[in-house]
């Protein structure tokens, strides 16, 4: 299609239900001019980070995920990259060092340093985000498969650059308590509910 954007920002998050492959179908359906775009279930931010609007509100009720995004937003890019490399070296993280991964996981669950969550995701099984009912990150080690690789780093850099270029606000609330009264006819609410576990 003439004029259609051919490339999109791919977030560094491997989020279940992510819409990165569907962006060419989804984005052209949005209004051409949007004042405020709200992604009420932002997840990995694939849709929201690629939206065109004067203001973009990315909301999710997973507190630790939003804390990570907010840390990305307020921290200098080089500092983020340096922190990740330092943590990888400190815990000797690799595709085979499960002890290092488990040590970092314990440190994150104890201290809740937001950027540690991203490092964990890089080395976890299928790069997934999983917390138990005690709010502990409990995804297993991605042995022989997962690592902080050049593709993930490239996606992270593009994501961080876009955060600094757009007017993005992160929100952490249940969709039922979001203040929808702030929206006008010039705004756009994107609702893509998470998948339910079925039996």
What pLDDT shows up at residue 4? 45
What pLDDT shows up at residue 193? 80
Please list the residues that pair with 37 across neighbouring strands: 56, 188
The 3 state secondary structure assigned to 5-22 is: CCCCCCCCCCCCCCCHHH
Rounded (5°) CA angle 140-196-181: 110
Terminal-to-terminal C-alpha distance of the chain: 41
What pLDDT shows up at residue 2? 39
Parts of the chain with a pLDDT under 70? 1-6, 16-17, 195-199
What pLDDT shows up at residue 20? 81
What pLDDT shows up at residue 178? 97
Structure tokens at 44: 């990995």
What pLDDT shows up at residue 17? 67
**CA dist., res. 122 & res. 113, Å (int):** 15
- Whether residue 116 contacts residue 86, with contact meaning beta carbons closer than 8 Å, is answered with no
Pick from 95, 90, 117: nearest CA to 105: 117
Structure tokens at 123: 């080395």
Longest Cα pair distance anywhere in the chain, in angstroms?
Answer: 53
What pLDDT shows up at residue 7? 85
What pLDDT shows up at residue 197? 52
Helix (H/G/I), strand (E/B), else coil: 26: helix
Q: Is the dihedral of CA 40, 163, 31, 46 positive or negative?
A: negative
Instruction: HSE, CB side, 13 Å, CA atoms: give it for residue 55.
Output: 14
What pLDDT shows up at residue 195? 62
């Amino acid at each position: 299609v003439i004029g259609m954007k051919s490339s999109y920002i791919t977030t560094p998050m491997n989020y279940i239900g992510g819409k990165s492959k569907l962006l060419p179908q989804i984005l052209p359906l949005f209004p051409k001019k949007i004042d405020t775009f709200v992604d009420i279930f932002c997840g990995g931010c694939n849709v929201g980070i690629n939206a065109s609007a004067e203001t973009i509100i990315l909301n999710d009720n997973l507190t630790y995920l939003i804390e990570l995004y907010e840390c990305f937003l307020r921290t200098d890019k080089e500092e983020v990259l340096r922190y990740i490399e330092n943590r990888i070296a400190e815990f000797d993280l690799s595709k085979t060092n499960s002890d290092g991964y488990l040590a970092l996981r314990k440190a994150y669950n104890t201290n809740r340093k937001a950027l540690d969550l991203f490092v964990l995701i890089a080395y976890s099984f299928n790069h997934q985000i999983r917390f138990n009912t005690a709010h502990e990150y409990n995804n297993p080690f991605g042995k022989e498969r997962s690592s902080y690789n050049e593709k993930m780093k490239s996606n992270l850099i593009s994501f961080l650059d876009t955060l600094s270029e757009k007017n993005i606000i992160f929100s952490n609330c249940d969709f039922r308590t979001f203040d929808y009264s702030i929206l006008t006819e010039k705004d756009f609410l994107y609702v893509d509910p998470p998948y339910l576990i079925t039996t």
